[in-house]
Structure 1
Amino acid sequence: MFDTMVITKAVAAFCGALLIFLLGNWAASGLYVPRNAGEQQAFIIDTGADDVAAEPVAELTFEEAFEVADAAAGSRLWSQCRACHALEEGRNGVGPYLHGIVNREIASVDGFNYSGALSQAGEVWTPEVLAEFLLNPSALTPGTSMNYRGLPSAQDRANLIAYIESES
């Protein structure tokens, strides 16, 4: 079935197709690439983008961020917490309800089975302790059953705490 003539025709077809593609590339380069494509630009338009140096924006401390916190912005962040927590008093979910959590004793919700890790956080959920907890829950309370990666932005944490406090 495969004799010398069949193999010769297959190699000739492959070489012919390669030749057509190479000739097409040569023709397209001649038509679409200008002769002076490698030369320096004739003029440069200054947009001023190089003049503005990227100044690093100083991150606000939590105290400064909490002073200017926006509860409306915190309502958008609440969607991350809503999956496990509720703002209605007495309605526990996977996590305890958060109604009145600011300045409430830690692990003090009746009817919720807390992990023992929260005893390391302190006595009361002050805004500062809440912010530290929201930054990285497992760092403040190793062994906590709360599986949340945290909010890195101090402004986001302040906005979220302000929203929870305003809804309480």
Structure 2
Amino acid sequence: MFDTMTMTKIIGGFCGALLIFLMGGWAAETIYHSGGGGHGEAEQAYVIPVEDDGAAAEVVEEGPEFAELYAMASAADGEKLWRNCRSCHSNEAGKNGTGPYLHGVVDRAVGAVDGYNYSGALVAVAETWTPENLDAFLENPKGYAPGTAMGYSGMRSAEDRAALIAYLASLDG
């Protein structure tokens, strides 16, 4: 069915198509980036003058403080958010999962769960899991403790973090 000549034609066709593709990319790069060897080396043709009054143009509006959110947080709402955590953590004392158990985690020393091998990154950033430390960690675990083994990407809503921490605080009474 296939002989040597047919296979040679097929391979030659693929090589020719690849060559055309690469030459097209080179030509496009030459046409659209012809201002020199790299980006930003060419002088801008027209500069728009902008008045600067020295003040920052954009004012970032911050929400309420975490302490206020935590004081108003509902443990019942936090229990609903627990579903994100329970795939790796347990809320029963002494029962570790992929992560350490979270029963009594609020105001517990960091890295204090017996039988769980911590990565070491957490112990370097905090001594105890205060509500504020938990808030910062839950917002961005990799940013708060670089090198942590926790694979969770973070909880963006400050209200949700406060509710989850209130739920975790309610577990141990």
State the TM-score, normalizing by the size of structure 1: 0.64
Q: What count of residue pairs does the alignment treat as equivalent?
A: 113
Q: 1:62 Cα deviation (Å)?
A: 1.0
Write the distance in 1 (CA, Å) between the matches of 2:97 and 2:156: 25
Partner of residue 125, structure 2: 121
- The answer to whether residue 161 in structure 2 is matched with residue 152 in structure 1 is no
* Cα separation, 1, equivalents of 2:80 and 2:145: 26
- Aligned partner of residue 145 in structure 1, secondary structure: coil
Which string of whole-angstrom CA distances, capped at 9 and with x for unpartnered residues, describes residues 135-162 of structure 1?
0000010010000111111111010000
| 1:143 alignment partner, one of 129, 147, 157 | 147
Look up the match of 1:72: 76
Contact 1:116 1:144 (8 Å CA) reproduced = yes
One-letter amino acid of the structure 1 residue matched with residue 63 of structure 2: E
Q: CA deviation at 1:60?
A: 2.2
For residues 103 and 128 of structure 2, the distance between their equivalents in structure 1, rounded to whole angstroms, comes to 14
d(CA) in 1 for partners of 2:115 and 2:87? 19
Counterpart of 2:156 in structure 1: which amino acid?
P
What is the distance in 2 between the residues matched to 1:112 and 1:154? 28
Which residues of structure 1 form unaligned runs of 5+? 1-56
Letter in 2 for 1:73: D
The one-letter code of the counterpart of 1:153 is S
What aligned pairs does 1:3-42 form with structure 2 within 5 A after superposition?
A: none
Q: Which residue of 2 aligns with 1:49?
A: none
Of residues 98, 109, 112, the one that matches 1:94 is 98
Contact 1:120–1:140 under 8 Å retained in 2? no
Residue in 2 that maps onto 1:83: 87
Inter-CA distance 139–58: structure 2 relative to 1 (3 Å threshold) = closer
Aligned to 1:105: 109
